[in-house]
Structure 1
Amino acid sequence: MSTNGVDDRAGVSGIAQEVGAFYDATELAWEAALGKSTHHGYWDDPGDASISLEQAQDRLIDVVAVATGLDAGQRLLDVGCGRGRAALRLAAMTGARADGVSVSAFQISTATAAATEAGLTDQVRFRVADVVSLPYPDASFDVVLLMESACHFEDKTQALREIRRVLVPGGRIVLEDVLTARGADPGRWDEVNRLIPVSFITSDAWSALLETEGFTGVSVHDIKPHVRPTYAAQLVNLARNRDDLAGKIGEEPTALMEHLCRVTSALGEEGVMSVEIIAARAPVHAP
């Protein structure tokens, strides 16, 4: 029997339950704004209007794939896998086996259906689980990927310890996320924090956390200029899909999503929000 779609919500606690409930309730709204991938797009040429948001989102996965160094026969864990697009694309591209976890039951159900549609259920599995108590044995994965999910972690230190535990010695963590830009006023996030359970920190803070937990070779790559067209694209999409969305989820949640997209787009355009790729290796020896 396939283990796809396993629901470990009993192991989800604290703010992770809030995050899961938030995405369960807002997935249709995110789809209206961003499509089937709940993350930024990446434009090699940010001025190239011929590249759609969906194409750019797949391009971001491809950029992240290079950072993972993932190979056939290796195992990938995608933490905060969303609808599973990254795990499925990376598995198909590299021949690796992939597991994806999310605290949203809706996302896991959708990801599992996508794996079935792609014919990848023997290669890619999804389950509801929390990063602070991952349901995997020690040294289970060669790579752990976090695409725009670590900003939701309440206890980032415990999350890194669990990730280190499930990585093979010398395994790789790759974190692509929304961060607070260096020198930006953290107070500018107050409105976003009121709407979503998140905790945005700088890449310097992430680097320090990784090094404290024994990770080595930390590298940081700022991709902010390449993702910037996402902000205009999500507003255009949401405006185009607004009436249909309101008919499905109601006027109030739709207006809330519009407000959230306007706020985050402004933070991105103003440079308060940064998007960066951080990579590091787990210790070769146990700490």
Structure 2
Amino acid sequence: MSTERDGATAGAGEIAQEVGAFYDATELAWEAALGKSTHHGYWDDPRDASVSLEQAQDRMIDVVGVATGLDAGRRLLDVGCGRGRAALRLAAATGAHAEGVSVSAFQISIATAAAAEEGLTDRVRFQVADVVCLPYPDASFDVAVLMESACHFESKTTALREIRRVLVPGGRIVLEDVLTARGADPGRWAEVNRLIPVSFVTSDSWKALLEAEGFTGVSVHDIKSHVRPTYAAQLVNLARNRDDLASKIGEEPTALIEHLCRATSALGEEGVMSVEIITAHAPAF
């Protein structure tokens, strides 16, 4: 029996609403720092200065795409899709159909416009929705992708349970996220936690959470060395675009993002923050 959820944000939790409001207010600031993809870049060789941040961000999507095993006719759910770049790029490359959800209405408006501009509205669609109450019937998707969104989940267990519901039996989850590095002091996140609603855990914690919800074949790939140039690049971009950004959104949100980028960059450079790709399969029944 289908348990499709009605209403785009029905059941959205308080933290999800905070996250949506945060990105509605700061999306232009993230664009100033990171461009049109609000996630880390992936450098095959982190010493290769000829690779731009934008190119590396597209490469990250491609790396995640390989992990999905997507091909034509399959259905992808991008959870926390941001501006939709991952869903659009993967759909264009594979011929898959894609849906993207975000709790930010502003992000969804940008993603929807991008789908139209790229001529992909027949295969890619975006809507406002919370991961704990996805507006899809059971077994709707072959793959779920989460690119640096799961750190915002108020209840990771509830989110995984809902993702498992909308995946076909044996479907795949691919999670690329910011994590606490093994052995790092979680208290080092205190400053970041004051600035943005997040909850960073280790890959061991994610493995335990996935297995507790019946996911199998959990695999973890540490890619922090491949993303490291992101930290310097975002600070350079933000400094270059700061005056223009402040004139558009005001000094206070500009300063907040500046502070946040500096804090996360420092944690990344020091090895407190890790970026990893975790894959697993939904129960095959």
Could you say which TM-score interval applies, normalised by the shorter chain?
over 0.9
Q: What is aligned with 1:87?
A: 87
Matches within 5 A, 1:48-67: 48-67=48-67
Shift of 1:12: 2.3
Q: What is aligned with 2:19?
A: 19
SS state at 1:9 partner:
coil
TM-score, normalised with respect to structure 2: 0.97
Shift of 1:11: 4.0
Contact kept, 8 Å, 1:102 with 1:108, in 2: the verdict is yes
* % identical aligned pairs: 86
Contact kept, 8 Å, 1:216 with 1:280, in 2: the verdict is yes
- Mapped to 2, the partners of 1:70 and 1:158 lie a distance apart of 25
C-alpha offsets along residues 214-264 of structure 1, whole Å, 9 cap, x if unaligned? 000000000000000000000000000011001111112211111111100
- Mapped to 1, the partners of 2:13 and 2:264 lie a distance apart of 27
Q: What is aligned with 1:274?
A: 274
1:44 equivalenced with 2:44 (yes/no): yes
Q: What is aligned with 2:119?
A: 119
1:164 equivalenced with 2:164 (yes/no): yes
Contact kept, 8 Å, 2:7 with 2:135, in 1: the verdict is no
C-alpha offsets along residues 103-156 of structure 1, whole Å, 9 cap, x if unaligned? 000000000000000000010000000000111000000000000000000110
Shift of 1:53: 0.3
TM-score, normalised with respect to structure 1: 0.96
Alpha carbons of 1:78 and 1:23: their partners in 2 closer, same or farther (altered >3 Å)?
same
Contact kept, 8 Å, 1:11 with 1:129, in 2: the verdict is no
Matches within 5 A, 1:130-149: 130-149=130-149
Shift of 1:98: 0.1
1:235 equivalenced with 2:244 (yes/no): no
Shift of 1:13: 2.5
1:174 equivalenced with 2:179 (yes/no): no
Structure 2 unaligned blocks of 5 or more: 1-5
SS state at 2:198 partner:
coil
Give the 4+ runs in structure 1 shifted more than 6 A.
none
Alpha carbons of 1:241 and 1:105: their partners in 2 closer, same or farther (altered >3 Å)?
same
- Mapped to 1, the partners of 2:224 and 2:242 lie a distance apart of 27
Structure 1 unaligned blocks of 5 or more: 1-5
Shift of 1:7: 7.7
C-alpha offsets along residues 56-102 of structure 1, whole Å, 9 cap, x if unaligned? 00000000001001111000000000000000000000000000000
Please provide the CA RMSD for this pair: 1.0
C-alpha offsets along residues 144-169 of structure 1, whole Å, 9 cap, x if unaligned? 00000000001100100000000000
- Mapped to 1, the partners of 2:162 and 2:71 lie a distance apart of 23
1:202 equivalenced with 2:205 (yes/no): no
1:33 maps to a residue whose letter is: A
Contact kept, 8 Å, 1:7 with 1:105, in 2: the verdict is no
